[in-house]
Amino acid sequence: MTPTLTLFISLFTTLLAIINPLEAIPVYLGLTDGQPEAEQRRVAWQACCYALLLSFFFLLFGTVLLRVFDVPLSMVRVVGGVILTRVGFELFNPPPTGGIIPRGDSGDANVAFVPLAMPIMFGPGAIATLISMASTIKQSPGELTHFIAASAAIVACMATTYLSLIYAKPILRRIGKQGIDAATRIVGFFVAAMGMGLIFHGAVEFLEPYTLVGRAATGG
């Protein structure tokens, strides 16, 4: 498997696990309840377009933000891992109210942007993932091909999410609320595992220079 294809599959599956369309379905149906089907599809389309634009913004300007705030990539991975781990735990064992994954109780008129696009589709986990990915792409030799692969993964993820939303009612009827709950908990487990992996690798990367300095000082 080529590095470009590996990047595509990795980013697609990670973003899809973070967004978790099955988690968005009940919220989407609750926010658009009683509206005509055409209006429901319009809300789903706008929400996915907003999330797509936000994704490309952080993919393109993620490294610029790191330079502006003088944040090392290792710390982004650690913080992103903490966020992903928290998201995973919340998916696995959702709280009755509150949390960083909001429920469909917002009274905001523009529900396509808030809360659907942000933060349900594009929240802290997606931001941390894309900033980390942007930094990795900048450090890779095939920057252009890797950027194209990452862009394709983002588009594919949003297209999958859009299809899940417009077919939300048949999906909900077929697998039921209990099926969505079970799938959400399984996804939460793997999201938490990915978050712990980011924390571990970020911590190792951050501590590596200090380990080399210690070895040099002791003559090891």
Q: How confident is the model at residue 28 (pLDDT cuts 50, 70, 90)?
A: confident
Instruction: Give the integer Cα–Cα distance in Å for 220 and 105.
Output: 59
Q: How confident is the model at residue 208 (pLDDT cuts 50, 70, 90)?
A: confident
> In sequence order, what are the residues at sequence separation of 6 or more whose Cβ sits closer than 8 angstroms to the Cβ of residue 191?
17, 18, 20, 84, 85, 87, 88, 91, 125
Question: In which residue are the tokens 């490309």 written?
Answer: 56
Residue 204 has pLDDT above 80, yes or no: yes
* pTM: predicted TM-score of the whole model, two decimal places: 0.72
Report whether 189 contacts 88 (CB < 8 A).
Answer: yes
The token duo for 90 is 């919340």
Instruction: Show the domain range for 200.
Output: 3-218
Query: Per the structure, how many domains does the chain have?
Result: 1
pLDDT, tens only, 82-127? 877 887 787 778 766 545 444 444 444 578 887 788 877 887 778 8
Q: What is the pLDDT, as a whole number, of residue 104?
A: 43
Report whether 121 contacts 19 (CB < 8 A).
Answer: yes
